[in-house]
Chain A
Amino acid sequence: MDQHKPATVVDALAARQEAGRNESAQAPAGDDVVQQAIGSQLRAVYDEVVRLPVPDRFLSLLSSLDGRQTAPVAGKEQES
């Protein structure tokens, strides 16, 4: 079903991401098991960071940039 067989784990991962995180898009890796493991652990480690809650200061910042809703965050207003 895949157009081409990705040569590496990172290729496979990139292809997967593009394919909308579809598990079945992962290519059979053959002897590339180590690299697959590296790929999955890398994503696991990184996803922990991605999932960290975003501090409120950024929501306030975006609101202030928008020029509505809330008052500008102290001194950070650069819009004109």
Chain B
Amino acid sequence: MTDPERFKDALLAELQSLRAFAISITGNVERADDLVQDTVVKAWTNMNGYTEGTNIRAWLFTILRNTFYSDFRKRSREVEDDGAHASRLAVHAPQHGHMDLEDFRRALAQLPDDQREALILVGASGFSYEEAAEICGCALGTIKSRINRARARLGEMLSVTSGADFGPDADSFAAVAGAGAGVKTD
């Protein structure tokens, strides 16, 4: 049996991460918050489905993602169409966002959903490839290939747009990216 108090503490500790992931896949803060709320309620009612000692963040992300694809996506699709991508992760940029990350943000938004998701899970949320595969309900090789394609694609896009103001690693990045258009997809 899962201890409710500890479970609640864990939920509380993961709220920010859950919300960030929700924003990244919905591209809309209000919808993300609804999604997080549903996820929290589902997690609570199914808390005994969680095995203590395993990665609770992965467990919660799985619930959130499944909820999104089963409940939210249809609705989203009806409301927004091709403009959807542009807003992902860019939604809240205005307030806290750094301008020098703008190119990156834009490039990230242009990735196919599945590639961006895989990249964020492994590259930004700290999941292993295995955990990401479980969260997405797909094969390990699929995750790896999505990430590889995402990285190659980003490298390509950014090598075109990168300039002197390309963020904290501007010097090394611009040098390499500019020199050979180094990264290619195939």
| Contact (Cβ within 8 A) A55 B33 | yes
The listed residue (A43, A45, A47, A78) touching B45 by CB distance below 8 A is: A78
Q: How far is the CA of A42 from the CA of B96 in the complex (A)?
A: 15
- A41 and B101 in contact (CB under 8 A), knowing A10-B151, A46-B24, A51-B16? yes
CB-based contact B182/A34 at 8 Å: yes
Q: Would B108 and A58 count as touching, CB distance under 8 A?
A: no
Contact of A79 among B37, B44, B125 (CB under 8 A): B44
Q: How far is the CB of A37 from chain B (nearest CB, A)?
A: 4
User: Which residue in chain A gives the minimum CB-CB distance to B147?
Assistant: A10
Q: How many residues of B contact A (CB 8 A)?
A: 56
A8 to B118, CA, bound (A): 15
Given A35-B151, A58-B36, A65-B44, A48 contacting B128 (CB threshold 8 A): no
Interface SS, A side: helix
Contact B128 A14 (CB under 8 A): yes
Contact among B126, B176, B183 with A18 in the assembled complex (CB-CB below 8 Å)? B126
Specify which of A18, A34, A48 lies most central, judged by the most chain B CB atoms within 10 Å of its CB: A34
A69 to chain B, nearest CB (A): 11
The reply to whether the CB of A71 lies closer than 8 angstroms to some CB of chain B is no
**Please, which residues of chain A bring their CB within 8 A of the CB of B5?**
66
Given A46-B125, A50-B17, A41:B92 Cβ within 8 A: no
Evaluate whether A34 and B37 lie within 8 angstroms (CB atoms) in the complex, with A44-B101, A46-B124, A79-B44 already known.
no
- The verdict on B40 contacting chain A, using a C-beta distance below 8 Å, is yes
Task: Return 28 A-B CB contacts under 8 Å, by A number.
Answer: A10-B147, A13-B122, A14-B127, A33-B169, A33-B176, A35-B183, A37-B177, A38-B151, A38-B158, A41-B168, A42-B119, A45-B101, A46-B24, A46-B124, A48-B93, A48-B96, A49-B19, A49-B24, A49-B92, A52-B23, A52-B92, A52-B96, A54-B16, A58-B36, A58-B37, A59-B12, A61-B41, A78-B41
Which are the 8 A-B pairs with shortest beta-carbon distances? Answer: A17-B126, A46-B124, A37-B173, A37-B169, A50-B20, A49-B20, A41-B104, A10-B123
* Chain B contact residues, CB within 8 Å of chain A: 4-5, 8, 11-12, 15-17, 19-20, 23-24, 33, 36-37, 40-41, 44-45, 89, 92-93, 96-98, 101, 104-105, 108, 119-120, 122-129, 147, 151, 154-155, 158-159, 166-169, 172-173, 175-177, 182-183
